[in-house]
Structure 1
Amino acid sequence: MKYKIAIVDDHVLIANALKSIISNFPQFEVIHISENGLDLQQKLNKESEIPNIVLLDVSMPIMDGFETAQWLKENYPEVLIMALSMQDDDKSLIKMIKNGAKGYMLKNAQPTQLIEGLNNLMERGQFFPDWASSKIITSISGNSTSIESCVDFSEREKEFLKYVTTEMTYKEISEIMYCSPRTVENYRDSLFEKLELKSRVGLAVYAIKNGFSV
């Protein structure tokens, strides 16, 4: 049995290169390529074949990766989404996870990393870059218990967690929380210690998973 993959990327050369690489993986096959989310919608609405995985470019015209991921989440929740990006951008990662992506890969990845990612997605339901800690992965997979049952948060830390999932900078968060940037950094550092995390991505994913997001 081969797992079916759909590629959504407005760069024809990249899409065809991905298809060529995947053709060397015996357990996977590319069933179609779309130029954007709208093109994918039309193909899925017309065809009976539903992919197991959608390799989804984040930045596209007409209907980008964020909108497409949200649409897939609502209409084809069984489809696993692997976001593709040119940069290791925290904001894009956080937003794609909020919109339903179960994986995230940079476009400069090696073929060995691509097959590893695809296999992990099918076998474990997720694949994220090394800079996403194991605790983040556990949270995304749904195997962790609620944060509040494990950690004692202050009300201000809970408020900060809501804003950390947005695209606001720490300075902008401090303004909306009516405190200094240094105070916001203190909330961040306190949460890093309590949750044993090292990045804003980690805090954001925990917040999303546990209902703290705005």
Structure 2
Amino acid sequence: MPVNLHNMDKRLTAMKVKEIREMVKDNVLDSQIRMAAQYNKKRVEVDIKENDLVMIKHKYIHTDFAKSLLIGKLENRNIGPFKVKKVFNNGLSIELVLPENMRRHSTFNVNQVIKYYESKEFNQDEINMPKPDIIDGKEEFEVEMILDHKPNFSRYLVKWKGYPNDQSIFCGCEKSILNHLELSNGNLLRNFLS
């Protein structure tokens, strides 16, 4: 029986394609193994559990809250500490308890945080923040300085006296309050109001 050359050519092509696919599959697997080995050289397992304290790396916070911190050359590059509320995705993601004025989603990848260790050598108790004055039944805080402003919305980033920078928030201000601040802080507001 004669052999059909046309069918034989198709069989050879199919076998060649199958060989090429197997070779590509092997190369991809080898590449994945090499990449995993390189990645795992520097990877450190992070052991973060619920109720641990962590610091958020500043570069992962893109809010008014973060802008208020005015990171300088010698300033802290991390924000916190914050309490871990929940750990999920096999320890790759964590949910934090964040302050209300942060206005950011509370879920972070473990690469975006650093575990916080309290120093036994240096006592790092919470900063003794002054209690607000109660005037006409409302809590009143003393303003130390205005860090930034949003002129279109009449909102000002206010640093409160006796509080750390991470407690600064954007506030809406009335004209009478601004006049009082201008009198108490000299020319501080003129730059923002013009």
Larger-gyration structure (1/2): 2
Higher helix proportion (structure 1 or 2): 1
Same fold judged by TM-score > 0.5? no
Higher strand proportion (structure 1 or 2): 2
